[in-house]
Amino acid sequence: MKQYLFTSESVTEGHPDKICDQISDAILDEYLKHDPEARVACEVTITRGIINIMGEISSTMYVDIAQVARDVVLDIGYDNNKFGFEGSTCGVITSIGKQSKDIAIGVNRSMESKNGKAVNDKEIGAGDQGMMFGYACNETPELMPLPIVLSHKLTRKLAEVRKQGILPYLGPDGKSQVTVEYRDNLPVRIDTVIVSSQHSEDISMDRLHNDIVEYVIKPTLPVVLLAKDTKIFINPTGKFVVGGPLADSGLTGRKIIVDTYGGYAKHGGGAFSGKDPTKVDRSATYAARWVAKNVVAAKIADRCEIQLAYAIGVAHPVSVSIDTFGTNTVTEEVIIAAINQVFDLRPSAIIRQFDLRRPIYRRIASYGHFGRSDLDLPWEREDKVKELKNRVEEIEATV
């Protein structure tokens, strides 16, 4: 019997890196509200008293970028100097150019369109080269790995009890980490739980510990997976008064594992936030999750990891591959053939399928882009299960 531990982490919306992700996506959302065809590649850094916004944006609209950034910071909870950063008084520096004409040439019109091999003469090409991964497994209702699901639930609960005034002394910055014990690839118990939360100076560690257990951990984690020997660490270094941008600088795209599968699956390296959907780092990774989830939901495999790869300016993926880790009910060659018939993985098709030219991005910039049962995200829909099953049966019948 194979036995092992696996750990994933999450961070709250007040973590410096997550502040940057949310600002980047809030800027993207603001452009898409008024100009759905806007090209946005926007990154943010944050540190003591200063927000730096940089990137390339091509649009017909004007957006008050500095005000968007301030609004995000205030909404997160940095609305006074109690926790060392304040959205109304911080400095905001912007350095924004336009998308390179050389890049735009390939994105505006794909190589297939230029060669007369596309149905649509104006089909766009991929915004960059690269590889993207999607993953799904049947160990949770969300078809996500359990450690990252539980880690996100803990950080969301931290934010909830802070904003609802249940634990008003908590600050916006915080982290969680969950270690799960697996036997024969099935989760059987929670081995370790770590919760770290920023807090007011006058709160004792005993009260913080008791409150976090009572109001965050107990309502969140499944009792059936908690054991007598489950280790629980709350603010293991002790005080966590100094946090947020006062304690650490933040950067867009530095929490890509938190955003995806908690390290349980491969990652192509491309971040999501601040990128419009022509960037396949974002749109194709969403599509890869959609494919993997439908494969698992169709019970063709218990686990599925898919890799897509693109060339800049080319619409069709240059490769599609999968790994079902020996859990497949039909050959992987049959599954790939069915995927290629059922799913259109060109950037234009992905954008249309998911309606990605709309302002949906800031709300998924925290607590994960996948497995979000609180949001109706199109790449989480199991809408291709029946068609996928039928194609697998048809292909098998011809083999």
Q: Is the dihedral of CA 58, 61, 62, 67 positive or negative?
A: negative
List residues bridging with 180 in a β-sheet.
Answer: 6, 190
Instruction: Please answer whether residues 290 and 379 qualify as being in contact, where contact means their C-beta atoms are separated by less than 8 angstroms.
Output: yes
Secondary structure (DSSP) of 278-312: TSHHHHHHHHHHHHHHHHHHTTS-SEEEEEEEE-T
pLDDT at 123: 75
pLDDT given for residue 127 in this prediction:
77
Classified as helix, coil or strand, 95 is strand
Residue 202: CB atoms within 10 Å: 8
Q: Residues, the chain, total? A: 399
Q: In a 3-state reduction of DSSP, which class is residue 362? A: helix
User: For residues 168 and 191, what is the distance between their CA atoms, to the nearest angstrom?
Assistant: 29
Q: Residue 342 is encoded by which pair of tokens?
A: 């059922």
Say what the pLDDT of residue 105 is. 62
**pLDDT at position 114, please?**
59
Angle between helices 65-76 and 16-34 (to 10 degrees): 130
Helix (H) or strand (E) holding 393: helix 385-398
pTM of the predicted structure, to 2 decimals: 0.94
Q: Is 47 helix (H, G, I), strand (E, B) or coil?
A: strand
pLDDT at 313: 86
Backbone angles phi, psi at 156, to 5 degrees: -65, -35
Phi, then psi, of 336 in degrees rounded to 5: -65, -40
Beta strands in the chain (DSSP E): 3-11, 39-47, 50-58, 79-80, 85-86, 91-97, 130-137, 170-183, 186-199, 226-234, 250-251, 303-310, 319-323
In Å, how far are 7, 125, 226, 310 from 114, measured between CA atoms? 47, 10, 59, 17
Which residue in the block uniquely carries the two structure tokens 């950037």? 347
Task: Measure the CA–CA gap between 259 and 13, rounded to whole angstroms.
Answer: 12
DSSP bridge pairs for 93? 52
Residue 102: predicted pLDDT: 58
The per-residue pLDDT string of the chain (399 residues; one tens digit each, 9 = 90 and over) reads: 789 999 999 999 999 999 999 999 999 999 999 999 999 999 999 999 999 999 999 999 999 999 999 999 999 999 988 888 999 999 999 999 987 665 656 566 556 665 665 555 567 878 788 999 999 999 999 999 999 999 999 999 999 999 999 999 999 999 999 999 999 999 999 999 999 999 999 999 999 999 999 999 999 999 999 999 999 999 998 889 889 999 999 999 999 999 999 999 999 999 999 999 999 999 999 999 999 999 999 999 999 999 999 998 888 999 999 999 999 999 999 999 999 999 999 999 999 999 999 999 999 999 999 999 899 999 999 999 999 999 999 999 987
CA distances for 120 relative to 109, 241, 285, 287, angstroms: 10, 57, 23, 21
Q: What is the largest CA-CA distance in the chain?
A: 72
Neighbours of 248 (CB within 10 A): 15
